[in-house]
């Protein structure tokens, strides 16, 4: 049964929103695909001979099976490039608003078949994913914090219909060729990087890009910030519960997407995938667990994890681990600026070392 047929069936009285029906529909879809494997004639030279004895066909192995894939614009290639380009002051600014854990982020894209499985099986009522193993993977604020390292403080972030600080968007849009209606991420990055001191302008643009890349990516691919009132006062950014905001966006976007699964999913898909591969281990741990648990994962490793599950059996059959517990030293590492010392050119480092050596000689004389 295809996705379109599933939607047509819902008009005839079937309750697609029911969790049990969702499981059956996805199972039917995968079973249909597996039973209709692509075939190919062995080669052109044998085709005539084969026609007399019955055509000889070769069934492709499971790696060639086409499974449902998630449509989405969450290509974070630009975001990783931006993080890698930050100077010492800008990285310090990221830590000041308590998003320093993102400096370890290195996922440029997500595996779309695995993502489809996870988002399709997500139940927005219970905020959980029903796995093929029979277990459920619950997702909450703490999971966002441990996975991405977002701030999880006390100030709530409620949905705002009319933003008061729209002037921030207006200021950013002035530097975009298409204005407010066509704010391409590359333009926002370009203007953000001009604030080399990591000031207010930098922090505004950085948070707008965080929302675009990891929380809510508009279907048209343009930047359309919904968090302006929460970033206007840059001193208060770290006081909000950004993790709760991510979960609220997941619930909202998944519910909307489920009405038509062929449309682009705009929610925090990378969070969902990264949380799943950390908490559900299949065969072996591919990345050592640490805080944030997204650290160490790359697009290539996620694709490898997807292939492993698809080739062996199916998604959602691994061993479930408890949520990772942040270690005491990781609390300090989040705001550790010692790594930024590597920003200095080699000649500057050598000069500083000589100065230090000279001071030691003088003090010891």
Residue % of the chain over a pLDDT of 90: 62
- Give residue 73's pLDDT: 75
Instruction: Examine the pLDDT at 170 and tell me if it is beyond 70.
Output: yes
- Give residue 21's pLDDT: 52
Region 122-146: mean pLDDT is: 96
- Give residue 329's pLDDT: 86
- Look up residue 297 and give its two tokens: 């994962």
Residue % of the chain over a pLDDT of 70: 72
Instruction: Examine the pLDDT at 94 and tell me if it is beyond 80.
Output: yes
- Give residue 322's pLDDT: 95
| Higher per-residue pLDDT: 131 or 333 | 131
Instruction: Examine the pLDDT at 161 and tell me if it is beyond 60.
Output: yes
- Give residue 42's pLDDT: 39
Instruction: Examine the pLDDT at 89 and tell me if it is beyond 80.
Output: yes
Instruction: Examine the pLDDT at 212 and tell me if it is beyond 60.
Output: yes
Instruction: Examine the pLDDT at 19 and tell me if it is beyond 50.
Output: no
Question: Residue 36 — pLDDT band, cuts 50, 70, 90?
Answer: very low
- Give residue 11's pLDDT: 44
- Give residue 163's pLDDT: 86
Instruction: Examine the pLDDT at 1 and tell me if it is beyond 80.
Output: no
Residue among 152, 131, 151, 107 nearest 279 (CA) = 131
- Give residue 159's pLDDT: 80
Most confident among 53-67, 109-123, 303-317 (mean pLDDT): 109-123
- Give residue 313's pLDDT: 76
| Higher per-residue pLDDT: 183 or 97 | 97
Region 315-322: mean pLDDT is: 94
- Please, are residues 75 and 92 in contact by the beta-carbon 8 Å criterion? no
Average pLDDT, the chain: 81
Question: Residue 138 — pLDDT band, cuts 50, 70, 90?
Answer: very high
- Give residue 75's pLDDT: 75
* Model confidence pTM above 0.95: no
Instruction: Examine the pLDDT at 281 and tell me if it is beyond 80.
Output: yes
- Give residue 134's pLDDT: 94
Residue among 219, 316, 220, 218 nearest 272 (CA) = 316
- Give residue 10's pLDDT: 46
C-alpha torsion 331→333→336→338, nearest 10: 160
Question: Residue 66 — pLDDT band, cuts 50, 70, 90?
Answer: low
- Give residue 312's pLDDT: 79
Kindly report which listed range (12-26, 80-94, 189-203, 234-248) carries the lowest average pLDDT score: 12-26
Query: What is the Cα 186 distance to its own chain's centre?
Result: 18
- Give residue 266's pLDDT: 95
- Give residue 191's pLDDT: 93
């Amino acid at each position: 049964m295809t996705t379109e047929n599933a939607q047509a069936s819902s008009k005839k009285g079937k309750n697609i929103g029911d969790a049990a029906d969702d499981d059956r529909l996805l199972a039917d879809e995968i079973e249909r695909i597996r039973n209709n494997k692509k075939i190919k004639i062995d080669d052109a030279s044998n085709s005539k001979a084969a026609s007399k004895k019955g055509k000889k066909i070769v069934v492709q192995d499971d790696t060639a099976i086409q499974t449902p894939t998630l449509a989405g614009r969450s290509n974070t290639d630009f975001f990783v490039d931006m993080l890698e380009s930050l100077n010492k002051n800008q990285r310090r600014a990221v830590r000041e608003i308590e998003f320093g854990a993102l400096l370890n982020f290195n996922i440029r894209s997500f595996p779309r078949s695995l993502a489809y499985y996870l988002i399709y099986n997500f139940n927005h009522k219970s905020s959980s994913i029903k796995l093929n193993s029979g277990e459920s993977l619950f997702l909450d604020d703490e999971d966002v914090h441990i996975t991405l390292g977002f701030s999880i403080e006390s100030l709530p972030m409620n949905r705002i219909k009319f933003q008061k600080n729209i002037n921030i968007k207006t200021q950013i849009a002035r530097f975009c060729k298409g204005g407010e209606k066509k704010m391409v991420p590359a333009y926002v990055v370009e203007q953000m990087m001009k604030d080399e001191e990591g000031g207010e302008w930098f922090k505004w643009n950085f948070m707008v890009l965080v929302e675009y890349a990891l929380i809510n990516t508009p279907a048209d691919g343009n930047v359309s910030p919904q968090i302006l009132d929460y970033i206007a006062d840059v001193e208060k950014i770290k006081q909000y519960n950004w993790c709760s905001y991510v979960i609220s966006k997941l619930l909202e976007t998944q519910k909307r997407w489920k009405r038509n699964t062929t449309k682009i999913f705009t929610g925090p898909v990378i969070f969902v995938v990264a949380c799943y591969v950390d908490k559900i281990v299949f065969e072996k741990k591919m990345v050592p667990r640490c805080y944030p648990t997204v650290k160490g994962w790359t697009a290539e490793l996620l694709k490898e994890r997807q292939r492993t599950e698809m080739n062996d059996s199916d998604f959602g059959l691994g061993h479930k681990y408890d949520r990772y517990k942040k270690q005491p030293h990781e609390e300090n590492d989040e705001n550790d600026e010692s790594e930024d010392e590597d920003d200095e050119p080699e000649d500057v480092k050598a000069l500083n070392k000589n100065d230090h050596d000279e001071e030691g000689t003088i003090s010891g004389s």
